[in-house]
Amino acid sequence: MIHAHVTAWFIAIVLFAVALSLHKNGKTKGFKILHMIIRVFYLIIIGTGVGLLSMVYHIDVWYILKAVGGLWVIGLVEMILIRTAKNRRTSVFWFQFIIVFLLVLYLGFIKLPMSIFHP
Q: Which residues bind ligand HEM (CB under 6 A)?
A: 2, 5-6, 9, 45-46, 49-50, 52-53, 63, 66-67, 70-71, 73-74, 104-105, 108-109, 112-116
Minimum distance, C-beta of residue 56 to ligand HEM, in the bound complex (Å): 6
Q: Which is nearer to ligand HEM, 74 or 80 (CB)?
A: 74
User: DSSP string spanning 21-32?
Assistant: HHHHTT-HHHHH
Q: Which is nearer to ligand HEM, 28 or 111 (CB)?
A: 111
Rounded alpha-carbon distances, angstroms, from residue 93 to 37, 60, 75, 99, 111? 21, 28, 10, 10, 25
Q: Residue 108 has what DSSP assignment? A: I
Minimum distance, C-beta of residue 90 to ligand HEM, in the bound complex (Å): 17
Backbone dihedral region of 5: left (phi > 0), alpha (psi from -120 to 50 degrees) or beta?
Answer: alpha
Minimum distance, C-beta of residue 72 to ligand HEM, in the bound complex (Å): 8
Q: Which is nearer to ligand HEM, 57 or 91 (CB)?
A: 57
Q: Residue 114 has what DSSP assignment? A: -
Minimum distance, C-beta of residue 73 to ligand HEM, in the bound complex (Å): 4
Rounded alpha-carbon distances, angstroms, from residue 51 to 2, 69, 70? 9, 16, 14
Q: Which is nearer to ligand HEM, 28 or 102 (CB)?
A: 102
